[in-house]
Structure 1
């Protein structure tokens, strides 16, 4: 029994290693040669596997990007598991933006992000990734917004989904700008500064809402 479990565990480890090698080989080749020019056959040849092995782990070339964002969302979940319950809604948003900017700048990198943005914008058949509201990052922001409404940090009368989308659009725009300006500014520092202003404006809107309710 123990030997069988060890065998299964080793098989699972080998499978994960194969998937990881295909994944990182694909991202490297996308960065070097461009997403549209790289074929699955070229990826598998570089990684040392067959095309069948690639499709055992990834239904399509584009699904490599989906895997990448699954990993990113897992990172955000792990970050928020360590956030103290007493943290304010604004603090939580800034923690998320800091994690997002740090991950994009130091783990994903500018070139893969440029490829992802370009693919999402120009490919008519692209699977929606950046603005997929089923992602974990949307659920985290929804929780932040609802907490902010309860605490009075954010205006209660505003639609929650619209507030979440405002924050996500701002985050996507910030990262797009960083890619467009080719990493000429500190993404994490600018993210903190930019979102502090947005949160300040949301706080002012909440204050105006309270004053209006008192009159």
Structure 2
């Protein structure tokens, strides 16, 4: 992202967090950023577009960072590190979080859809982590476990962000994962009856496909992969095969999501060191293991 645009978004977030969406004008944002109102419009056609773009960009950035966490063989440690990263982002971007809490911005229909995508991504992030850690044994209580995990995280986020309680981020990740483990093992040992079944939750959460924002994150990585393929010093015929593999990955990853097919397609890139990082990112976004 252009550095000036990024700075403008950060300044605008801070102002909206302080004054509220409706009480913050484009002129005020432009003045604070040291640019003209016309320059603001060269980046964003309206205050609404500014707000929607800011929410989307922030969430994609967070999801990319979480997807890059790689702790081989230890799913609990990976989950704990992701929570720590999430808390660090919240600390660095408190203005962004406060914008949600203090501003009546949900009247913007497009933003309501973006925040819905955020909730779906959050649900699937928890679901993926819990399934990796506990496997088949948790299936009966999976939704209850996700709800409990959300409760733990949101409560600590509240005290950390809104009440300014100083919390060690690394320790918090490990602590929350341990407390969640206590809750889950308690449910499993007591052979209790589940409280919420998957059939009871809204349809938007049941899809095995990712949200719009997750798809955008995947598309961004696939675009980067194509750019790196173009830089390879190999025969054009080999490049064409790699381009075709990327095209098929776009179809499978964004539409069909056949895990076996995706795993096979990713093997085409293993021979090139410059591509390995993007291959790992794709696997993490789609929650699949590399062959």
Q: Could you state the TM-score of these two structures normalised by the residue count of structure 1? A: 0.68
Provide the aligned length of Structure 1 versus Structure 2: 183
Distance in 2, matches of 1:185 and 1:202, equals 27
- 1:92 to 1:207, Cα distance in 2 relative to 1, 3 A: farther
- Give the aligned partner of residue 11 of structure 1: none
- Alpha-carbon shift at residue 87 of structure 1 (Å): 0.9
Q: Quick check: 1:185 aligned with 2:173? A: no
Alignment of 1:31-42 (within 5 A): 31-42=17-28
- Give the aligned partner of residue 61 of structure 2: 71
- 1:34 to 1:59, Cα distance in 2 relative to 1, 3 A: closer
- Give the aligned partner of residue 17 of structure 1: 3
Structure 1 residue ranges (4+ consecutive) displaced by more than 6 angstroms after TM superposition: none
- Alpha-carbon shift at residue 174 of structure 1 (Å): 1.6
- 1:195 to 1:169, Cα distance in 2 relative to 1, 3 A: same
CA contact (8 A) 2:153 2:176 kept: no
Give unmatched runs, 5+ long, in structure 1.
1-14, 211-215
Give unmatched runs, 5+ long, in structure 2.
193-291
Distance in 1, matches of 2:173 and 2:20, equals 28
Distance in 1, matches of 2:149 and 2:13, equals 28
Q: Quick check: 1:145 aligned with 2:126? A: no
Distance in 2, matches of 1:140 and 1:19, equals 29
Q: Quick check: 1:95 aligned with 2:84? A: no
Distance in 2, matches of 1:59 and 1:40, equals 10
- Alpha-carbon shift at residue 151 of structure 1 (Å): 6.7
- 1:99 to 1:202, Cα distance in 2 relative to 1, 3 A: same
RMSD: 3.1
